[in-house]
Amino acid sequence: MPFIPSILPPAQSTPQSWCFAFVGNQLLLPEDEGLELQPLAAAAMLAEASASHYLGTLAAIDCWALLMPAVPAGWRAVPLRAAMMRFDAARGALAGRAAQLLEWDRSHRFCGVCGTPTGLQPGERARVCPACKHSAYPRLSPAMMALVWRPGELLLARSPHYAKGMYSALAGFVEAGESLEDCVHREVAEEVGLQIQGLRYYGSQSWPFPNSLMVAYTAEYVSGEIVPQPGEIEDAQWFALDAVPNIPPRFSIAGHLIRDTMDAMRAGTFRSTR
C-alpha cells in the first residue's frame, strides 16, 4: 500500500480515514481481537481527540495520528510494540510515525529556551514560541546497529532489558561529533572489546521507542576477546549459524539483519574484505 506523506489535510477529506489513535503511549485497536485496524469514518474520533496530526494518505485514504483522552467504547489499548508486530510494514511504519509525532507534540508544549507555551506552525511540522520565535521540529536520535561476523559465526549479545533468552546485534546511540562509522567502531569496542573492519551498510528503520533512527551495518571481526561491558551487556558470544539463539522478529531491522546475513553466509556470498 503506497503511503504519501503530507502535513496539511486536503480540502476534501476521504470518506474514511486510517486512525492511529493513542491513549498515552498505547495504540487503540478494535476490542474484538479478531478484527484488524481498518479505515473508518473518523469524524467522532477527530472531535474527541485532544491532539490530532494529519499524516498523509495510505492507499489514497487519509491518515491521522490522534491522542485520545480515554479508550472509546469498542476499542482496547495495547502496547505499540505488540501492535506493530501484527501489522504489515506500511501500517507498522505509520503507527510508529504517529507515536513519534504525538510524543514530539507532547514534549514541546513549552519552549525549551524561555519556557513560553508554544503553538503549532501552520504549514510546517513545527511548534513555535511566540515570545523568542524558537522553533521545535520533530527530531530523531540516530543509533547504529552492528552485526559482527567471522567465518561461520555471528557475534550476538543480550542486554539486561531484553526478553528472556533473546540475543541481538550490538547497538548504541551516535554521540555529538561522531560519524555513523565512528560510532560503530566505538560501540563495538566499548560493549564487547573487539576490533572490527569492513563495515557494510545494510539498511535503516525508524524506531519509535521513542524516536530513534536505526542504521544497521555488518562488520568483520579483526581481533580481541569478548569482554562484555558491565551494566550494558549481560552476555555476548560467538554463535555458529546452526546454533543461533532466540533473535528479534522480522518486524525489527535487527531481525532482518541477522537472518539475511545468515542466509548470505550459508550461500557463500558473504566474504571477507581482507
Q: What is the pLDDT of residues 26-35, one digit of tens each?
A: 999 999 877 7
Q: Report pTM.
A: 0.89
Cβ atoms of 188 and 150 closer than 8 Å: no
Q: Which residue has the cell 557463500?
A: 268
Q: What is the mean pLDDT of residues 199-224?
A: 95
Contacts of 81 (CB under 8 A, 6+ apart): 209
Cα–Cα distance for residue pair 150/81, rounded to 1 Å: 32
pLDDT in tens, 9-60: 999 999 999 999 999 999 999 998 777 899 999 999 999 999 999 999 999 9
Residue 273 Cα distances to 64, 185, 269, angstroms: 46, 16, 12
Share of the chain above pLDDT 90, in %: 88
Render 202-233 in DSSP notation, one character per residue. Answer: EEEEEETTTTEEEEEEEEEEEE----PPTTT-
pLDDT at 167 over 70: yes
Q: Which residue has the higher pLDDT, 156 or 33?
A: 156
Q: How do residues 78-119 score in pLDDT, each as one tens digit?
A: 999 999 988 998 999 999 999 999 999 999 999 999 999 999
Question: 272 pLDDT exceeds 90?
Answer: no
Query: How many other C-beta atoms can be found within 10 angstroms of the C-beta atom of residue 99?
Result: 23
CA-angle at 244, arms to 196 and 180, nearest 5°: 30
Helix (H) or strand (E) holding 142: strand 141-150
Give buried/exposed letters for 17-42 (b at 16+ CB in 10 A, else e). bbbbbbbeebbbbeeeeeeebebeeb
Asked if 169 and 156 count as a contact pair (C-beta separation under 8 A), the reply is: yes
Helix (H) or strand (E) holding 19: strand 17-23
Report yes or no: 191 and 172 within 8 Å, Cβ to Cβ.
yes
Q: List the domains of the chain with CATH numbers.
A: 3-105 (3.90.79.20), 108-138 (no CATH), 141-267 (3.90.79.10)
pLDDT at res. 274: 64
pLDDT of residue 270: 80
